[in-house]
Structure 1
Amino acid sequence: MKKWAFFFISILIIGLIILSYKYVEANTKAQNLQNSIDAKFKAELSFTRDSFNVKMNDYAYRSILSRVSTVASISEITSYEDQNDNLDISLYNLYVALNNDRSKEKVLSRADELRDIFMMLVTNPASKEATDKLMQINDETFFRD
C-alpha cells in the first residue's frame, strides 16, 4: 500500500511540475505577443505622426487616412488601452472625421496640432492628455458644423 501511495504522490508532484511549467510558458508567450502588439502600435503611431509632416495632396491624404485607420484598429488590443480607455475611441473618431468629406478639411487644417499629438502618443501611447486633445479636435471639427 505504501508503494502505491508513494507512486501516486510522485505522479501528482510530476504533474504539478509539468502544469506549472506549461503555465509559465503560456504566460511568457502571451507577454511576448502583447509586447509585439505594443511595439507595432508604437511604430504605426510614429508613421502616422510622420504622415502629417508632408505637403498635403491626394496621395498624402490617403496615406494619413490609412495610417489613422491602422492605429485605431490596433489600439484596442494594446496594453495602453487598459491604461487609457479613450485611446481607441479618440483614434477611431479621428478616422471617421478624416473619412467624412464635410470635416476632413477642418481636421487637416490642424495637421500641426495632430502631428504634436501623435508625437505625445509616440512618447507615451497611454497619454490621457493626447487623447483629450484628439477628442477636442474631433468635437470641434467633426461633431460640429
Structure 2
Amino acid sequence: MIYGQGCFAAGTAFRLANDLDENNADARVLVVCCEIHSLVCFHAPSKTHLDILVGSTIFSDGVAAVIISGGDGGGNSGSTINRWPLLQIISAGQTKIPDSDEMIVAKIREMGMQYYLSSDLPKVVFDNVDQCLLEMFDPFGIGD
C-alpha cells in the first residue's frame, strides 16, 4: 500500500508495478489508485463560499485501475522474445504558470479543507493554455 502521496501516488505505483513486472517473468500487477477526498473535505453548499463547493468538485473522489504486464498473455510468459509494452508513456511534463501561486489555495481547517479560488483564475488559464500546449506538443512536431 502506498499512501500519503496525493496526486503523485499513481506515478509511484506505476514505477513499482513496472519493477515487479520486469523482475518477475509471470507477473501481472494490479494497480488501483483511489482518492477519497470527500471524507476530509466535503462541506454543505454555502451561498457565501461557492469557491469551497467548486474546489471540492474539482478535487473530488476518484479511482482508476490498470493491470501492468509485460508478457504476451499467450502462455509465453518469461520469454523475452514476446515481451512488448501495450502501454508506453512517451512523454510527461508540467508547467508552472508565473505568478499563479494564489490562484487556487487550499487550507486545512478544523472543519476540513477550505478552498479559495481567485476570480482571475479563468483568465490566467485562458492566457496560458496555448503556451502550455505548445511546450507539450512541439517536441513531437504537432502544431495544430
Question: Which bin holds the TM-score, normalised by the shorter protein?
Answer: under 0.3
Structure having the larger proportion of residues in strand: 2
Answer 1 or 2: higher relative contact order, Cα 8 Å, separation at least 6: 1
The structure that is helix-richer by fraction is 1
TM-score scaled by length of structure 1? 0.23
